[in-house]
């Protein structure tokens, strides 16, 4: 019976391929993988039976182990102010990503016959991909972040025979300034079409006129024909419920030169906007002599963007300031391996913070990321490079820039120019060419490519050397001058540059570790401590940067500033500034959210300022300071309300009100910085409170003095038990969906215990498996994938993954001396 079913399914697939217009099959399963570099590994006849079996997306380096010996950078990081070379450990995460990895798989194309075309598309492969099909090289793509594809029609077998696919990847030492990941960490697809077809990224959809009554949608469609015949292109626009809202027919003429451009009209359009992800879809049908040859689908959105001198960024006719975050591509304990559930969770957490835009620093994002941003209403600034031709790191993109920059930009723009979430291109980050006489020419060359491929979006460049880019004109030639840090020079930039605009393309770089507080509470630059952490009082920052409020005030008081992209939303693997040489330290301390996805205090500072929909009332620090009785222990409150009164054990500590009179001018002197002048405008601070165990309560007041909210935290008693809380309790039974479960320790009354660092062991039963865990501690050498991890200040996050069989996943957590806990996740 089973065999019969199998044959029947195979037959069906075969028939559908034979008559299908196009097929797209992801190649996720069945991969073999090795770290041995054997040149024969691309041969068709080759014994890979002792290679590891893996599923992609797969990041070979995330399984560790961590070591300071991995990718030591012996150099001075000049942009960080270093003048002599030192040894940098953990700059790329302390993970074993360098070297060669081989992947092999087989695929067959049932019913494949002469006349059909076959494309293989890689969403991104880290890095220097060499792709072989049936023993012959299909192509090479060095950039590890970009999507690329090869036409492999001439290399595949007909009629459903197995084709051998082999991919060799190679990462070099000193190729990155952060953890790049390793391997086939994004998806691979086999696409087949007829001989007449619409090529990869063959449509370009723009909305040149949008008003309340209608949107004019221009659709340019590339068409590849096969021999003589009459070609007709039918274009339809579907709304979100698949209703056809506009349609058009055109005959291909020799004058079209293989590209048909048509205007369609959508009446009463629903606009795509921030958190209003109204999407449409263009369906393009290509007919030859009346027979359907290809059907191609393009999701898009209807919205307008404009850059206006002195006005800033205008979305759908409304001025919007970027409340943005920079994010690297890694997903914490999952490494670089792309995963939809992890991306959705990341964007959800950022939206809760009030974030409206993400800068994909410093590279091309995964297609899943852009699609999900479309679907969740998150704007993206898509970046291409951290380096042009002049190196920052020895084996960085400088090795490829001259030959590949144009190809890389063309691919990323063709790939994402229909996505409404993408609102700006960014061609570089703090490139060395800033200090080069010819720097503006290179910027111009790259910006021109962007304009040629997509005239609808502005182009920026993250520049951190104002003097150099004023004098070599690099800043003046950009559509949008983007400045990294030094916001105290925005006014000068505005006066000197022709655009009458300033974007904070990268800002802040504040430092903190979740749940760590340092005394006395003082503003510090590059502070280092024996525990390799930073204070969560949010008073510490990198030498080239400042505190969050030093940027808030610029964007609030200067009308021509376009908003900012803070460094960073989440912590990421690598770049443990300022602990360059202080091992262990493998991940950043810059995030408003830690590597596990748990908000730090700073998250609530941003939320109180950025999230206008929801109230914020957050107290710090925790109130378990055994040994600090009677000592000065300041209390800070982050709230959207203008004032609040603080009580310790019922005793008022006074009322504080945000000081809105703090001006931009004069509030950044050394003295003012020391006195937290600008902070007083945005946070409420009680600097002289003394610790005594008990309760800390805060009552918030509105402008009229009415008490509108309150919050209380308590000194926790003895740690009693574990508590588990999942971000989602129902997930898909698709073998890749994830639930993120936060593990906390509480006392017998349920108060969180902020100082527990016990080992927690996990056991997973039922319809899933343990995928990974993280505790947000940059010094932890616990391996992410093992089902055990030390708590960091009373918390960690465990991740479970579904199987393809629906059922219940049970995660059980145990720790010495604590009541164990378990949680059920349903998979459907």
At 69 the three-state DSSP class reads coil
Terminal Cα-to-Cα distance of the chain (whole angstroms):
26
**Interface with ligand GAL in residues 60-89 (CB under 6 A):** 79
Closest CB 462 distance from ligand GAL, rounded Å? 6
Q: What are the residues whose beta carbons fall under 8 Å from the beta carbon of 183, sequence distance 6 or more?
A: 33, 56, 58, 59, 60, 61, 101, 103, 125, 126, 169
Closest CA to 369 of 400, 409, 330: 330
Instruction: Report the C-alpha gap between 486 and 79 in whole angstroms.
Output: 13
Instruction: Report the C-alpha gap between 12 and 14 in whole angstroms.
Output: 5
- Active-site entry in 170, 387, 430, 801: 430
- Cα–Cα distances in angstroms (integers) from residue 411 to residues 148, 381, 382, 454, 588, in the given order: 7, 16, 12, 12, 30
Closest CB 666 distance from ligand GAL, rounded Å? 26
Q: By the 8 A CB rule, do 507 and 486 touch?
A: no
Closest CB 7 distance from ligand GAL, rounded Å? 55
DSSP code of 446? H
Interface with ligand GAL: number of residues (CB under 6 A): 11
Active site residue 506: yes
Residue among 571 and 777 whose Cβ is closer to ligand GAL: 571
Closest CB 505 distance from ligand GAL, rounded Å? 9
Query: Residue from 174, 273, 374, 430 that binds ligand GAL (CB under 6 A)?
Result: 430
Closest CB 486 distance from ligand GAL, rounded Å? 11
At 170 the three-state DSSP class reads strand
Render 553-621 in DSSP notation, one character per residue. HHHHH-TTEEEEEEE-SB--BS--TT-SS-SS--B-S--SB-TTS-B-HHHHHHHHHH--SS--EEEES
Closest CB 420 distance from ligand GAL, rounded Å? 27
Q: By the 8 A CB rule, do 277 and 287 touch?
A: no
**Interface with ligand GAL in residues 225-254 (CB under 6 A):** none
**Interface with ligand GAL in residues 498-527 (CB under 6 A):** 506, 509
* Cβ-closest position to ligand GAL: 509
Residue among 80 and 137 whose Cβ is closer to ligand GAL: 80
Tokens of 770: 């343990």
Residue carrying the six token digits 């048909």 = 260
**Interface with ligand GAL in residues 460-479 (CB under 6 A):** 464
Closest CB 507 distance from ligand GAL, rounded Å? 10
For 462, phi then psi, to 5°, come to -85, 105
Query: Residue from 370, 542, 566, 698 that binds ligand GAL (CB under 6 A)?
Result: 542
Cβ neighbourhood burial of 735 (10 Å; 0-12, 13-18, 19+): middle
Residue among 429 and 460 whose Cβ is closer to ligand GAL: 429
Closest CB 177 distance from ligand GAL, rounded Å? 6
Tokens of 352: 């809760």
Closest CA to 194 of 26, 27, 23: 23
Residue among 146 and 429 whose Cβ is closer to ligand GAL: 429
Residue among 429 and 802 whose Cβ is closer to ligand GAL: 429
Q: What are the residues whose beta carbons fall under 8 Å from the beta carbon of 819, sequence distance 6 or more?
A: 720, 721, 722
Residue among 174 and 430 whose Cβ is closer to ligand GAL: 430
Query: Residue from 121, 398, 429, 827 that binds ligand GAL (CB under 6 A)?
Result: 429
Residue 384 binds ligand GAL (CB under 6 A): no
Other C-beta atoms lying within 10 Å of the C-beta of residue 651: 10
Closest CA to 186 of 23, 365, 352: 365
Instruction: Report the C-alpha gap between 493 and 488 in whole angstroms.
Output: 10
Residue among 286 and 542 whose Cβ is closer to ligand GAL: 542
Closest CB 262 distance from ligand GAL, rounded Å? 42
Query: Where is 9: in which H helix or E strand?
Result: helix 2-19
Instruction: Report the C-alpha gap between 357 and 362 in whole angstroms.
Output: 15
Residue among 363 and 447 whose Cβ is closer to ligand GAL: 363
Closest CB 575 distance from ligand GAL, rounded Å? 6
CA angle 332, 334, 338 (to 5 degrees): 105
State the binding string over 248-287 for ligand GAL (x if CB under 6 A, else -). ----------------------------------------
Active site residue 69: no
E strands along 449-542, which residues?
459-463, 480-484, 502-508, 524-525, 540-541
Query: Where is 681: in which H helix or E strand?
Result: helix 679-682
Instruction: Report the C-alpha gap between 696 and 504 in whole angstroms.
Output: 37
Query: Residue from 484, 546, 587, 640 that binds ligand GAL (CB under 6 A)?
Result: 484
Closest CA to 172 of 146, 195, 142: 142
Closest CB 778 distance from ligand GAL, rounded Å? 14
**Interface with ligand GAL in residues 564-603 (CB under 6 A):** 567, 575, 577
Query: Where is 194: in which H helix or E strand?
Result: none
Residue among 294 and 506 whose Cβ is closer to ligand GAL: 506
Residue among 380 and 699 whose Cβ is closer to ligand GAL: 380
Closest CB 169 distance from ligand GAL, rounded Å? 24
Q: What are the residues whose beta carbons fall under 8 Å from the beta carbon of 355, sequence distance 6 or more?
A: 323, 324, 325, 378, 569, 606, 610
Partnered with residue 142 across adjacent β-strands are none
Residue among 546 and 802 whose Cβ is closer to ligand GAL: 546
Residue among 567 and 638 whose Cβ is closer to ligand GAL: 567
- Active-site entry in 368, 383, 433, 506: 506
- Cα–Cα distances in angstroms (integers) from residue 174 to residues 72, 87, 750, in the given order: 8, 12, 48
Instruction: Report the C-alpha gap between 470 and 459 in whole angstroms.
Output: 17
Residues that are catalytic: 430, 506
Q: Which residues bind ligand GAL (CB under 6 A)?
A: 79, 429-430, 464, 484, 506, 509, 542, 567, 575, 577
């Amino acid at each position: 019976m089973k065999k019969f079913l199998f044959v029947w399914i195979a037959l069906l697939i075969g028939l559908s391929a034979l008559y299908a217009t196009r097929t797209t099959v992801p190649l996720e399963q069945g991969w073999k993988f090795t770290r041995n570099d054997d040149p024969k590994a691309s041969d068709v006849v080759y014994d890979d039976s002792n290679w590891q079996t893996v599923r992609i997306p797969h990041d070979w380096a995330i399984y560790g182990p961590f070591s300071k010996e991995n990718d030591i950078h012996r150099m001075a990081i000049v942009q960080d102010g270093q003048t002599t070379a030192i040894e940098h450990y953990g700059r790329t995460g302390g993970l074993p990503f360098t070297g060669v990895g081989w992947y092999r798989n087989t695929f067959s194309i049932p019913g494949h016959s002469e006349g059909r075309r076959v494309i293989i598309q890689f969403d991104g492969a880290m890095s220097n991909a060499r792709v072989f099909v049936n023993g012959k090289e299909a192509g090479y793509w060095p950039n590890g972040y970009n999507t690329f594809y090869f036409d492999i029609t001439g290399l595949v077998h007909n009629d459903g025979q197995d084709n051998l696919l082999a991919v060799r990847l190679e990462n070099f030492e000193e190729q990155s300034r952060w953890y790049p990941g390793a391997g086939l960490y994004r998806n691979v697809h086999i696409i087949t079409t007829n001989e007449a077809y619409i090529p990869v990224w063959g449509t370009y959809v723009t909305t040149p006129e949008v008003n309340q009554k209608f949107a004019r949608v221009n659709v340019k469609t590339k068409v590849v024909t096969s021999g003589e015949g009459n070609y007709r292109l039918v274009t339809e626009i579907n709304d979100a419920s698949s209703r056809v809202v506009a349609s058009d027919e055109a005959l291909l003429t020799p004058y079209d030169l293989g590209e048909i451009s048509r205007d369609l009209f959508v009446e009463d359009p629903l606009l795509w906007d921030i958190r209003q992800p109204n999407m449409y879809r263009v369906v393009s049908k290509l007919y030859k002599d009346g027979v359907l040859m290809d059907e191609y689908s393009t999701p898009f959105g209807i919205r307008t963007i404009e850059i206006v001198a002195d006005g800033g960024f205008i979305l759908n006719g409304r001025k919007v300031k970027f409340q943005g975050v920079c994010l690297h591509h890694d997903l914490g304990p999952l490494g670089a391996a792309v995963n939809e559930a992890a991306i959705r969770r990341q964007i959800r957490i950022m939206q809760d913070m009030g974030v409206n835009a993400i800068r994909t620093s410093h590279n091309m994002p995964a297609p899943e990321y852009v699609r999900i941003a479309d679907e969740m209403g998150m704007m993206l600034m898509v970046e291409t490079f951290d380096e042009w031709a002049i190196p920052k790191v020895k084996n960085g993109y400088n090795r490829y820039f001259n030959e590949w920059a144009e190809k890389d930009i063309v691919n990323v723009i063709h790939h994402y120019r229909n996505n409404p979430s993408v609102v700006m291109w960014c061609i570089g980050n703090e490139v060395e060419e800033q200090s080069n006489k010819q720097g503006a020419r290179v910027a111009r060359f790259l910006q021109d490519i962007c304009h040629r491929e997509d005239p609808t979006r502005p182009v920026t460049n993250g520049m951190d050397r104002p003097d150099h880019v004023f004098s070599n004109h690099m800043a003046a030639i950009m559509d949008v001058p983007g400045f990294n840090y030094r916001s105290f020079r925005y006014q000068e930039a505005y006066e000197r540059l022709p655009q009458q605009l300033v974007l904070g393309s990268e800002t802040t770089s504040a430092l903190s570790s979740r749940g760590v507080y340092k005394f006395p509470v003082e503003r510090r630059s590059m502070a280092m401590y024996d525990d390799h952490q930073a204070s969560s009082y949010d008073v510490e920052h990198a030498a080239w940067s400042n505190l969050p409020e030093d940027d808030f005030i610029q964007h609030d008081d200067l009308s021509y500033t376009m908003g900012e992209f803070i460094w960073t939303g989440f912590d990421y693997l690598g770049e443990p500034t300022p602990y360059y040489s202080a091992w262990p330290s493998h991940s950043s301390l810059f995030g408003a959210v830690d590597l596990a996805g748990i908000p730090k205090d700073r998250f609530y500072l941003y939320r109180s300022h950025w999230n206008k929909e929801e109230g914020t009332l957050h107290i710090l620090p925790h109130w378990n300071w055994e040994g600090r009785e009677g000592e000065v222990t300041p209390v800070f409150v982050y709230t959207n309300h203008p004032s609040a009164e603080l009580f310790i054990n019922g005793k008022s500590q006074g009322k504080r009100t945000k000081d809105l009179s703090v001006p931009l001018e004069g509030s950044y002197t050394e003295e003012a910085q020391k006195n937290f002048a600008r902070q007083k405008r945005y946070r409420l601070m009680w600097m002289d409170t003394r610790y005594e165990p008990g309760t800390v309560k805060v009552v918030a007041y509105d402008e009229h003095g009415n008490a509108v909210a309150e919050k209380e935290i308590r000194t926790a008693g003895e740690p009693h038990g574990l508590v588990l809380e999942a971000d989602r309790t129902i997930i898909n039974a698709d073998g890749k969906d994830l639930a993120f479960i936060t593990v906390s320790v509480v006392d017998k009354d349920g108060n969180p215990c902020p100082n527990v660092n016990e080992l927690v062991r996990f056991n997973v039963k039922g319809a899933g498996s343990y995928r990974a865990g993280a505790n947000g501690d940059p010094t932890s050498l616990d391996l992410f994938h093992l089902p055990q991890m030390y708590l960091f200040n009373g918390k960690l996050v465990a991740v479970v993954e579904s199987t393809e069989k629906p059922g219940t996943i049970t995660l059980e957590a145990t720790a010495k001396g604590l009541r164990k806990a378990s949680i059920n996740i349903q998979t459907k």
